[in-house]
Structure formats: C-alpha cells, structure tokens
Amino acid sequence: MSGFVFKQFTVTQTRAAMKVSTDGILLGAWADVSGAKRILDIGTGTGLLALMAKQRALDAKVSAIEIDSGACSDARDNFAASPWPDINLFEGAVQSFNAAEPFDAIITNPPYFNASLKGDNHARNTARHTDGLSFSELIASCSRLSHSKIRLNVILPCLEAEQFIAVAAQAGWYLNRHCLVRTSDKKQASRSLMLFSQNNGECETTSLTIHTADGSYSQDYKELCKAFYLKM
C-alpha cells in the first residue's frame, strides 16, 4: 500500500520505513494540542502526526523533524500536497536540532526496541530501535526545546511505557494522563497513550478498546478518530 487517504489529507508512504499505523492515528487524535501555538512532531516519518496536529490546531505553527532521508521525502511531499504546506520539516537528529522559540506541545511515536533482533532494512531499524534515540536522549531533547508549561504526548507499548515513565520522572517530567489501549475486549492492554508535563499532579487513567467482538471499530474509537478516517 503506497498511500493512505484521510478526510483532509493523503499520506503517501513509498520511501518511509515506517508506514501509517494505528499507533500513529491513535496518538494524533488523542494528543493534547489545545491552545498550542507551536507544536513539534519528533520522528515524523511520513508526516502523519504533524498533519493531524495541524488539522486539529489550525492556528499553530507546526514543525516536524525526521532523521531518515526517505521518510523526509515522503513527509515533504505530503505536506506540500496538504492544505497546510507551511508545516516546517527539518532533516536530522533531534539531539542536534535547535529552535528559536520553545514549543508548547510535542508529539512523538518514538523508537522503542532496545533488545530485539534487527532485520536488514537500516531505515526501518533506525525507526524502530532506540540505538539512535534512547528514551533519556529523547526526554533531554524535549526539555531543551520546551518551556515550563510544555505538554509531551507519547505512545509506546505498555512495557516500554513503564520504562519511559521512570526515565521521564528522573528528568522532572510527570505523567498527567494515561490511556491504556487494547485491540479487543478479550486482549490485555498493549499500548499506552501518555501525556507528560512538568506539573506533578494527579494522573488521570482511562482505557480504550479499538475493536468490538465482531471486529468492527468500537464507538469510543470512532468518536476519537472520526475527524480523520475517510469512512467513519
């Protein structure tokens, strides 16, 4: 599949190692970008999260960063073909990325494999494995690019999410919202949608089931994602 058509934009994905996924759509729809004037998507891949953020926060200045040149080519084309060609794209590592002003909200679907076997696709390994961007490096970059009111939105598998929460807490980031996602009622939660800030308040925990017993999308998932899916 070379493209994914949404209600307001299309994502071509011929060169990016990581294609459009349910994880990305979940995060893009769930992330807290309300009132944000400057939004950063770290590891944009095809540009999906940046495009979703811009659709939800039209007045915001959205920037995206991506280290893989193939993914950058896809993202560049997707931004240019969208209603929002003003999305800024930076090719390179976030560790060396600098911004003139701090961001109000950051969105990231980061690499998380740190002990698994790698395949032959270097770009896919970079996108999936933490070798080039560890959790501590990601959090340090977020701290450097933000201000005291920043909101950091992340999706990770549940096990890696617990690791991320611990690393974040050591750096002064606190979990404010946590949504546990499972694919069906019969499955355990497999993904964690997380909102962090530098405010150590009480954490709101919720859950979301993607599919009903007959395999169709649940009402909660439809409600969350209906602004994006073409046939929902």
Reported as a single tens digit per residue, the pLDDT across 120-138 is: 544 444 434 345 679 999 9
The overall pTM is greater than 0.85: yes
Return the exposure string of 151-171: e unless at least 16 CB atoms fall within 10 Å of the residue's CB, then b.
bbbbbbbeebbeebbebbeee
* Rounded Cα distance, 99 and 144, in Å: 9
Reported as a single tens digit per residue, the pLDDT across 143-154 is: 999 999 999 999
Reported as a single tens digit per residue, the pLDDT across 67-122 is: 999 999 999 999 999 999 999 999 999 999 999 999 999 999 998 755 544 445 44
The candidate with the shortest Cα–Cα distance to 77, out of 28, 43, 44, is 44
Average pLDDT, the chain: 90
Return left, alpha or beta for 35; rule: phi > 0 is left, psi -120 to 50 is alpha, else beta. left
The candidate with the shortest Cα–Cα distance to 29, out of 231, 230, 221, 232, is 221
* Rounded Cα distance, 206 and 180, in Å: 6
2 pLDDT tier (thresholds 50, 70, 90): low
- Asked whether residue 13 carries a pLDDT value surpassing 50, the answer given is yes
- With contact defined as beta carbons under 8 Å apart, do 82 and 36 qualify? no
